[in-house]
Amino acid sequence: MSTALQIKDLVKQFATGKPAVDGVSFDVPPGEIVVLLGPSGCGKTTTLRCVAGLEHPTGGRISIADRVVSEPAKGILVSPRERDIGMVFQSYAVWPHMTVRQNVAYPLKHRRAGGGGDAKSKVDETLALVGLDAYAERPVTALSGGQMQRVALARSLVYRPHLLLLDEPLSNLDAKLRIRLRDELRRILKQTGMTGLYVTHDQSEAVVLGDRIGVMRNGKLLQMAPPGEIYNRPADPFVANFTGAANVLHGKVLARNGDRVTIDLGAAGRIDAWTPQPLAPGDKARVALRAENIRLGESGPANAFSGRIVERRYQGMQTLYDVVLGDQKLEVLELGTAARHAPGEIALTLPPDSCWAYLEDGSDHD
């Protein structure tokens, strides 16, 4: 099966410090959108820039449409212009002296594919796709920020590249517009069948846009999986924490059965959890879980506890509770317009499938 993008053992080492990208490998089949997610400095943008040819890798291999475009060990380095890619940046990067149509048509003048008498129809089709057909003759400087970003997207799509690279393209927009364009962007890419590599630090963007999400930290790719798997089966504590599992309980492994472990939490009692790691009886472990997965006022068949609400923070559409469990603390989130529980003793359930156990390594994974 052919791949739109293949990255194998990619390394990018700058003059000082650790590698910015350290042995990253993944494939992207045609038509798939892969999102690289992680904090600033994790290597996600450097990876994208290596794919674009804007950074020169130190090692590894990059192939686009089954053609090797970078392999330092063999002296292969194809220029960005010849990689058949499109790019959308954080800044709109539009030509301010041109109209919307002229901006979108510009790449066709410098590429054999899509040129000639067919250019106008391609521009019209692409402007309609991004919802700017009524603005074709308008000066681009007369547009809003969201509209200018649509122009930048249309300009990258008009010549139908093999691969579209998007470097946090929504980060300069206000919150409401960012949400609307996020949803439309996925629709547009899927409608065109475009293969995309998208970089962001925003988990909600990653979940909505990505067919798969790759979580990065310190130059390494920690996990590459569909959004549901990243969210419900994080591979390590950092992935769990970065995607919202703010609660951590500490204990010791008592028993293991397949991918399930029983952990002694001390004064709180015992908890059953899922684990992706080779935990064994006697190991110190941490259990991560999300605030919204804890069920207050319920005693389930497993992981049922008695706790105490010490603080309640009503926020309109949701309520946050601080709960003491034994000698440890949890934050619990409940959706709804009413604060249902008052401070004091309460039953709670921590569903085993929502509890993830990892080896206790002493780090905070922030």
pLDDT digits (tens, 9 = 90+) for 12-30: 999 877 899 999 999 999 9
For residue 123, the number of C-alpha atoms closer than 13 Å in the C-beta half-sphere is 22
CB atoms within 10 A of CB 149: 27
Please give the pLDDT value at position 91.
78
Strongest mean pLDDT among 88-102, 117-131, 141-155, 275-289? 275-289
- Per the DSSP assignment, residues forming a β-bridge with 109 are none
pLDDT at residue 116 tops 50: no
CATH for 5-232? Answer: 3.40.50.300
pLDDT at residue 115 tops 60: no
Residue 119 pLDDT grade (very low, low, confident, very high; cuts 50, 70, 90): confident
Residue 178 pLDDT grade (very low, low, confident, very high; cuts 50, 70, 90): confident
Residue 36 pLDDT grade (very low, low, confident, very high; cuts 50, 70, 90): very high
Q: Per-residue pLDDT tens for 220-251?
A: 999 999 999 999 999 999 999 999 888 999 99
State how far the Cα of 8 lies from the Cα of 260, in Å rounded to an integer: 33
What amino acid is encoded at 348 in this protein?
Answer: L
> Quick one: average pLDDT of 50-56?
97
142 CB burial (10 A radius; 0-12, 13-18, 19+): exposed
Residue 93 pLDDT grade (very low, low, confident, very high; cuts 50, 70, 90): confident
State how far the Cα of 351 lies from the Cα of 51, in Å rounded to an integer: 41
Please give the pLDDT value at position 364.
58
Residue 112 pLDDT grade (very low, low, confident, very high; cuts 50, 70, 90): low
Identify the residue with better confidence: 2 or 360.
360
pTM attached to this predicted model:
0.89
Long-range CB contact pairs, 224-232, < 8 A, 24+: 224/26, 224/34, 231/207, 232/353, 232/354
Please give the pLDDT value at position 344.
97
> Quick one: average pLDDT of 188-204?
93
Please give the pLDDT value at position 365.
54
Residue 350 pLDDT grade (very low, low, confident, very high; cuts 50, 70, 90): very high
State how far the Cα of 364 lies from the Cα of 366, in Å rounded to an integer: 6
- Per the DSSP assignment, residues forming a β-bridge with 111 are none
Give Cβ neighbours of residue 236 (< 8 Å, ≥ 6 apart): 222, 223, 276, 277, 358
Please give the pLDDT value at position 114.
46
Q: Per-residue pLDDT tens for 311-345?
A: 999 999 999 999 999 999 999 999 998 888 999 99
State how far the Cα of 97 lies from the Cα of 344, in Å rounded to an integer: 65
Q: Per-residue pLDDT tens for 266-296?
A: 999 999 999 999 999 999 999 999 999 999 9
Please give the pLDDT value at position 339.
84
Average pLDDT for the chain: 92
Please give the pLDDT value at position 363.
63
> Quick one: average pLDDT of 3-13?
97
> Quick one: average pLDDT of 141-163?
90
CATH for 245-359? Answer: 2.40.50.140
Please give the pLDDT value at position 111.
66
Q: Per-residue pLDDT tens for 338-348?
A: 888 999 999 99
Segment (H or E) for 180: helix 175-192
Give the residue extent of every domain in the chain: 5-232, 245-359
Residue 92 pLDDT grade (very low, low, confident, very high; cuts 50, 70, 90): confident
Q: CA-CA distances (angstroms) from residue 188 to 144, 157, 182, 209?
A: 19, 10, 10, 11
